Chains A and B, each alone.
Chain A
Amino acid sequence: MSVSKAATARLDHHKDEWEKSHGAVQPGMSAPPEGEVVDEHSAHGGHHGGPREPLVMILPLIVLAIGALAAGFLNFPQRDSWSLGQYLGQSPSLYYGYQSAKTEFGGKNRDGSEYLLDGKALTRDQVETDGAMIVPHGAFGQVGRNLPEVHGGMPHWVMYVVSGAIALAGMGLAYQFHLKDRAALGRLSQRLPGLVRVLEAKYWVDEIYDKLFVKPMWALARVADVFDMIVNALVFVVAYVPKVGAYGISLATQRGLVQGYAVVMLIGLAVMLLVIFR
């Protein structure tokens, strides 16, 4: 896109103003794209927000955020009305898996019984005698039994608070470093170059994985391919043996002389006559 000289000068001025408020562009930061017209208000007032993300990136995040809130609401085990946990607990796989684990490793239901099936409390002995009751015979996801309602356990308030605090701390850091004071991120990264290198290299996970697993397996694949050629060659050697033997026999018997063939035919005839008239 072509711009006039005046517009170019204006853009340069705004870029300088942006860099004054945000610091020089650091790895991981995004400078305003070339040619973007930044309005003077946002150029002078850095704390009112940096570059705006396009809507195509923001909208999915909004949708995901709403979905996360909805999932948390539906999954809350202390809900009096329908919850996702209650629905999933009706699954035979989960139910019977839970009961099998309880039977194997002990534990009681909330009403004190050791095993619960179709609303009936059973003892461990009863379960072991009728072992097939734990998992329906031939079960491949069969549904149809009248399963009891699964009650949720006590919510883990400590985990709720801790995970919420971590999330809020993350949001606070993101606000601080990406909205309020972007230059602070640049200053921090200059003070911790080692950490920046580790993060940019993504902990060298790809490189380690490549050296530990991919390359050795690839070498093994090449070895297998060569081994296959050897096995194939052995097959050809085995096939070559009768070929050589037949060639040797043909050399001895197929001399091209009529007298020789006549003698062999006479011998054959004599053998036949001996067998028939023995």
Chain B
Amino acid sequence: MDFALLPMLIGVPLVGALLCALSGEKGPTRAIALVTALLHFAIAGYAATRFDWDIRLEQLMAELGTFAPLNFSLKVGVDPLSMLLVLTTSVLSSVSILASFSRAGGAGSKDGAYYAWLLVLLGTMTGVWVARDLLLFYAFFELILVPLFFLIGTFGGPDRRMAAGKIFLYTFAGSILALPAILYVGLRAGTFDIGSVIHWAQAEGNLSAGERFWVLMGLLASFCVKTPIFPLHTWQPTAMGEAPGNGVVDASGMVLKLGAFAMLKIAVPIGFVSAGGLAAPTALTVVAVLAVIGILYGGLCAWAQTDAKRVLAYSSLSHVGFVVLGIMALTDIGMRGASLYLINTAITTGGLFLIVGMIYERYGTRDLTELGGLGKVMPLGAFFFGLFTMAAIGLPLLNGFVSEFLTILSAFTSPYLGIGFGVCAALGIVLGAIYMLSMAGKLLFGPLKVPAEGKVSAVMRGDLNFREVTALAPLAVLIVVLGVFPQPVLDTLRYTVEPLRAPVAAAEARANATASGGASIVASIDADIAVETDGRTKGEGGR
């Protein structure tokens, strides 16, 4: 039964999407969508209980078919990070669907299409997290663009068609360059199984320096656009600004994590790391520099915005900069912090987008110059907004602090980065506090300022209702729990991170041992590497 869980996590939303499409505007579309999302969450929760969080091996493996000529298989499985991302996606999707019930229903609402595409997005995102075949991963990585295109293009803001076209073409153009890299390395390795490809790519002599460089460039072309990293980021504020109020939660919450996830799980172990340790120091430095620029640049741009959604969009650019910096540090705490950051920022940014959407539904604007003092009329909304703001700026005891601290600490202590990276990243935290508190201050405090009634029906105005609070409460709880007690998550993420950086860790240990003259220690490190790689291969044999 365990083998069926992951395929169900992909299939159930797709079936739900079909039912929503058939149900259309007149049927119980919203109920179907919510039930599907909750069912997805229930299955993900059950899968989490079947998952052993204390071992390194990938679990719940399933293989649905094989295409022998290419050695391509429909293989799925999860490790701790994937499992956590599946759970986070599930929670965010349920919350997003529940929050979207404030959409005007009835004829012309295109409810069927809206919820169908939301569920397709859920299914394809789950596919990315659980795919264990490179081609399958790539397929889901690109398939996500389809529901995004229709969600933004059909239900978005005034410039929705331009935004939809931009996100599709921009990210697709990058991914076109990744496909040859994936095909090359998969065909050379004789398999597209991710673990086996990584093992082959890291082994001595399989990939020359030139080959590894071009494979890495191809992968980075796609992943850097999808993350996004400065200067390949301009699709993101446009897309996030035009995306519909509550589909944005999914879009911003999880889609932006795809690129960083791919960088961590594929680009780093294949392109950056080889048997001898770090294989592409220049590329690593360049990506790290771009990440730091993104942190500062995203923060400055966010401060200059007057549209609350665009503030959050640029804030996401800054946050993913921290994630990439943690990954590029190639240290244990950096990569674990970056992994935790993926989850934390999805929750926090998702919650902020939700509340901004709720404010927009009431007042018909997100312009910070037209709104003010909303804390007087929306005290509950102000509470949630304040909580999510504090989490976003990294206040201790909330989830943002833990991951920010770890990524910055990793920048300081990484042998591949250094103090300069850490200092610049720390400045990014200051910028984060500036633009987030500035936005919160303008929106929530001071004299009450709202547009004249006429833009939006007065019926909608007022504080959050029970449905909206129900949507926000799980996120608020997660923010506090992950902030106060992140240890279990950090402990389990070790099992994801250690195999990815094993050769680098071994090379560092060898260098330290050689420096202190311990030949026996070097031998034992090499023996450990043999056990490590042997265990990883056994793990991918299926469990």
Contact = CB atoms under 8 A, between A and B. Distances in A.
28 contacts: A138-B332, A138-B494, A140-B487, A140-B490, A140-B491, A217-B300, A217-B303, A218-B303, A220-B300, A221-B301, A221-B303, A222-B304, A223-B300, A224-B297, A224-B300, A224-B301, A224-B304, A225-B300, A225-B301, A225-B304, A228-B234, A228-B237, A228-B297, A231-B231, A235-B166, A235-B170, A235-B234, A239-B169
Contacts of B332: 138
Interface residues of B, number: 20
B305 interface: yes
Contacts of B238: 232
A112 interface: no
Contacts of B490: 140
Given A140-B487, A140-B490, A224-B297, A231 B303 contact: no
Interface in A204-242: 217-218, 220-225, 228, 231-232, 235, 239
Nearest to A223: B300
Contacts of A235: 166, 170, 234-235
Closest 9 CB pairs of A and B: A225-B304, A224-B300, A221-B300, A221-B304, A221-B303, A232-B234, A224-B301, A235-B234, A225-B301
A212 to B, nearest CB: 14
B240 to A, nearest CB: 14
Nearest to B431: A217
Contacts of A224: 297, 300-301, 304
Nearest to B490: A140
A141 interface: yes
Nearest to A235: B234
A130 to B, nearest CB: 12
A113 B238 CA distance: 64
A141 B486 CA distance: 11
Contacts of A225: 300-301, 304-305
B431 to A, nearest CB: 8
A93 B434 CA distance: 31
B168 to A, nearest CB: 11
Interface of B: 166, 169-170, 231, 234-235, 237-238, 297, 300-301, 303-305, 332, 434, 487, 490-491, 494
Interface residues of A, number: 16
Interface of A: 138, 140-141, 217-218, 220-225, 228, 231-232, 235, 239
A268 to B, nearest CB: 26
Contacts of A220: 300
A232 B234 CA distance: 6
Contact of A228 (B166, B235, B301): B301
Nearest to B170: A235
A239 B231 CA distance: 16
A48 B170 CA distance: 79
Contacts of A218: 303
B304 A141 contact: no
Contacts of A141: 487
Given A138-B494, A239-B166, 12 more contacts: A140-B491, A217-B303, A220-B300, A221-B301, A221-B304, A224-B297, A224-B300, A225-B301, A225-B304, A228-B234, A232-B238, A235-B170
A225 B231 CA distance: 13
Contacts of B235: 235
A41 to B, nearest CB: 45
A239 B173 CA distance: 11
B320 to A, nearest CB: 16
Nearest to A141: B487
Nearest to B434: A217
B281 to A, nearest CB: 26
A178 to B, nearest CB: 33
Contacts of B300: 217, 220-221, 223-225
Contacts of B237: 228
A138 B170 CA distance: 41
A235 B166 CA distance: 9
A220 B296 CA distance: 11
Q: Which interface residue of B231, B237, B238, B332 has the most chain A CB atoms within 10 A?
A: B231
B305 to A, nearest CB: 7
A218 B431 CA distance: 11
A189 B332 CA distance: 61
A239 B172 CA distance: 13
Contacts of A232: 234, 238
Contacts of B303: 217-218, 221
Given A224-B300, A239-B169, A231 B487 contact: no
Contacts of B166: 235, 239
A132 B297 CA distance: 39
B52 to A, nearest CB: 19
A120 to B, nearest CB: 23
Nearest to B435: A221
A231 B300 CA distance: 15
